[in-house]
Amino acid sequence: MLLGVDPKLFFSILVLDITYATFIHIGEHIVKKGQFGFLGKLILTPSHHRVHHGKNPLYMDTNFCNLLNIWDRIFGTYQSEEKNHPIVYGITREMDPGSFFDVYFGEFKALFKDVAHAPGLKNKLLYLVMPPGWSHTGEHQTAKIVRQRFLNEQPNRD
Protein backbone atom coordinates (compact mmCIF):
# COMPACT_ATOMS: atom_id res chain seq x y z
CA MET A 1 0.00 0.00 0.00
CA LEU A 2 2.92 2.33 0.72
CA LEU A 3 4.02 1.86 -2.90
CA GLY A 4 0.64 2.89 -4.28
CA VAL A 5 -1.27 -0.41 -4.44
CA ASP A 6 -4.98 0.12 -3.92
CA PRO A 7 -5.83 -1.06 -0.37
CA LYS A 8 -8.90 -2.98 -1.65
CA LEU A 9 -6.76 -4.91 -4.12
CA PHE A 10 -4.06 -5.49 -1.52
CA PHE A 11 -6.47 -6.89 1.07
CA SER A 12 -8.34 -8.97 -1.54
CA ILE A 13 -5.08 -10.64 -2.57
CA LEU A 14 -4.11 -11.06 1.08
CA VAL A 15 -7.43 -12.81 1.87
CA LEU A 16 -7.03 -15.12 -1.15
CA ASP A 17 -3.45 -15.89 -0.20
CA ILE A 18 -4.32 -16.69 3.42
CA THR A 19 -7.30 -18.81 2.33
CA TYR A 20 -5.17 -20.85 -0.08
CA ALA A 21 -2.36 -21.20 2.49
CA THR A 22 -4.91 -22.53 5.00
CA PHE A 23 -6.17 -25.04 2.44
CA ILE A 24 -2.59 -26.17 1.68
CA HIS A 25 -1.92 -26.79 5.38
CA ILE A 26 -5.13 -28.74 5.99
CA GLY A 27 -5.30 -30.18 2.46
CA GLU A 28 -3.16 -33.12 3.46
CA HIS A 29 -6.05 -34.35 5.59
CA ILE A 30 -8.69 -33.60 2.96
CA VAL A 31 -6.90 -34.80 -0.18
CA LYS A 32 -4.50 -37.59 0.82
CA LYS A 33 -2.35 -37.67 -2.31
CA GLY A 34 -2.75 -33.93 -2.92
CA GLN A 35 -0.96 -33.71 -6.27
CA PHE A 36 -3.83 -32.25 -8.38
CA GLY A 37 -2.73 -33.78 -11.71
CA PHE A 38 -1.89 -31.15 -14.34
CA LEU A 39 -2.54 -28.27 -11.92
CA GLY A 40 0.31 -29.61 -9.79
CA LYS A 41 2.69 -28.49 -12.54
CA LEU A 42 1.59 -24.89 -12.02
CA ILE A 43 0.46 -24.29 -8.47
CA LEU A 44 1.47 -25.26 -4.96
CA THR A 45 -0.27 -28.45 -3.84
CA PRO A 46 -0.52 -30.21 -0.48
CA SER A 47 2.07 -32.70 -1.79
CA HIS A 48 4.55 -29.91 -2.63
CA HIS A 49 4.00 -28.36 0.76
CA ARG A 50 4.62 -31.68 2.55
CA VAL A 51 7.97 -31.83 0.77
CA HIS A 52 8.76 -28.31 2.00
CA HIS A 53 8.40 -29.49 5.61
CA GLY A 54 10.59 -32.58 5.19
CA LYS A 55 13.96 -32.89 6.89
CA ASN A 56 15.11 -35.72 4.62
CA PRO A 57 18.22 -34.74 2.64
CA LEU A 58 16.25 -35.02 -0.62
CA TYR A 59 13.63 -32.56 0.59
CA MET A 60 15.71 -30.03 2.56
CA ASP A 61 15.36 -26.38 1.49
CA THR A 62 12.87 -27.01 -1.31
CA ASN A 63 9.44 -25.79 -2.44
CA PHE A 64 9.39 -22.26 -1.06
CA CYS A 65 6.67 -20.94 -3.39
CA ASN A 66 3.42 -19.70 -1.97
CA LEU A 67 1.17 -20.26 -4.98
CA LEU A 68 2.92 -20.64 -8.33
CA ASN A 69 5.58 -23.32 -8.24
CA ILE A 70 7.19 -21.88 -11.36
CA TRP A 71 9.35 -19.81 -9.01
CA ASP A 72 10.80 -22.92 -7.40
CA ARG A 73 11.47 -24.35 -10.84
CA ILE A 74 13.22 -21.13 -11.95
CA PHE A 75 15.37 -20.90 -8.81
CA GLY A 76 16.17 -24.63 -8.70
CA THR A 77 14.39 -25.27 -5.41
CA TYR A 78 11.56 -27.45 -6.77
CA GLN A 79 11.31 -31.05 -5.58
CA SER A 80 8.38 -33.39 -6.12
CA GLU A 81 7.35 -35.93 -3.52
CA GLU A 82 8.87 -39.31 -4.28
CA LYS A 83 7.02 -42.42 -3.14
CA ASN A 84 10.30 -44.27 -2.48
CA HIS A 85 11.38 -41.54 -0.05
CA PRO A 86 8.70 -41.02 2.63
CA ILE A 87 8.76 -37.56 4.14
CA VAL A 88 10.13 -37.17 7.65
CA TYR A 89 8.78 -33.91 9.05
CA GLY A 90 10.83 -31.55 11.15
CA ILE A 91 14.16 -29.82 11.42
CA THR A 92 17.59 -31.41 11.46
CA ARG A 93 18.58 -30.51 15.02
CA GLU A 94 17.17 -32.38 18.00
CA MET A 95 14.29 -30.42 19.46
CA ASP A 96 11.94 -30.76 22.40
CA PRO A 97 8.50 -30.57 20.74
CA GLY A 98 6.89 -30.07 24.14
CA SER A 99 8.87 -26.92 24.84
CA PHE A 100 7.40 -23.68 23.52
CA PHE A 101 10.77 -21.97 23.94
CA ASP A 102 12.73 -24.64 22.11
CA VAL A 103 10.23 -24.77 19.24
CA TYR A 104 10.07 -21.00 18.72
CA PHE A 105 13.45 -19.80 19.94
CA GLY A 106 15.74 -22.85 19.79
CA GLU A 107 17.31 -21.83 16.47
CA PHE A 108 18.15 -18.39 17.88
CA LYS A 109 19.76 -20.05 20.88
CA ALA A 110 21.83 -22.34 18.62
CA LEU A 111 22.85 -19.37 16.44
CA PHE A 112 23.86 -17.32 19.49
CA LYS A 113 25.95 -20.25 20.73
CA ASP A 114 27.70 -20.56 17.34
CA VAL A 115 28.41 -16.83 17.22
CA ALA A 116 29.70 -16.78 20.80
CA HIS A 117 32.12 -19.65 20.13
CA ALA A 118 33.36 -18.43 16.74
CA PRO A 119 36.91 -17.05 16.66
CA GLY A 120 37.24 -13.48 15.41
CA LEU A 121 34.71 -10.88 14.34
CA LYS A 122 34.64 -12.06 10.69
CA ASN A 123 33.54 -15.58 11.67
CA LYS A 124 30.98 -14.21 14.12
CA LEU A 125 29.46 -12.08 11.34
CA LEU A 126 29.57 -14.96 8.85
CA TYR A 127 27.41 -17.07 11.17
CA LEU A 128 24.76 -14.34 10.86
CA VAL A 129 24.73 -14.26 7.05
CA MET A 130 25.71 -17.76 5.91
CA PRO A 131 23.14 -20.56 5.56
CA PRO A 132 22.32 -22.85 8.49
CA GLY A 133 24.95 -25.58 8.75
CA TRP A 134 27.84 -23.30 7.79
CA SER A 135 30.87 -23.65 10.06
CA HIS A 136 34.00 -21.59 10.56
CA THR A 137 35.93 -24.88 10.71
CA GLY A 138 35.12 -25.64 7.07
CA GLU A 139 33.08 -28.72 8.02
CA HIS A 140 29.93 -27.30 6.43
CA GLN A 141 26.67 -29.22 6.71
CA THR A 142 24.39 -26.82 4.85
CA ALA A 143 21.22 -28.18 3.27
CA LYS A 144 22.74 -27.71 -0.19
CA ILE A 145 25.77 -29.85 0.69
CA VAL A 146 23.78 -32.54 2.52
CA ARG A 147 21.25 -32.72 -0.33
CA GLN A 148 23.96 -32.93 -3.01
CA ARG A 149 25.77 -35.68 -1.10
CA PHE A 150 22.48 -37.62 -0.91
CA LEU A 151 21.81 -37.17 -4.63
CA ASN A 152 25.33 -38.36 -5.49
CA GLU A 153 24.79 -41.50 -3.41
CA GLN A 154 21.42 -42.28 -5.06
CA PRO A 155 22.10 -42.88 -8.77
CA ASN A 156 18.83 -44.72 -9.44
CA ARG A 157 16.11 -42.61 -7.82
CA ASP A 158 12.66 -43.40 -9.21
Beta bridge partners of 89: 54
CA angle 139, 150, 71 (to 5 degrees): 100
Alpha-carbon distance values, 113 to 7, 30, 97, 106, 124 (Å): 43, 41, 20, 11, 10
Q: What is the pLDDT of residues 53-103, one digit of tens each?
A: 999 999 999 999 888 889 999 999 999 999 899 999 988 889 998 999 999
pLDDT digits 0-9 by tens, 6-17: 999 999 999 998
Hey, where are the domains in the chain?
7-75, 100-153
Q: What is the pLDDT of residue 158?
A: 53
For 104-126, how does the pLDDT look when each residue is reduced to its tens digit (9 = 90+)? 999 999 999 999 999 999 999 99
Degrees to nearest 5, angle at CA 151 with 145 and 157:
160
Sequence-separated contacts (24+) of 87-90 with Cβ below 8 Å: 87/50, 87/51, 87/53, 87/54, 87/56, 87/59, 88/54, 88/55, 88/56, 89/53, 89/54, 89/55, 90/53, 90/55
Q: Which of 65, 59, 35, 32 is nearest to 47 (CA)?
A: 35
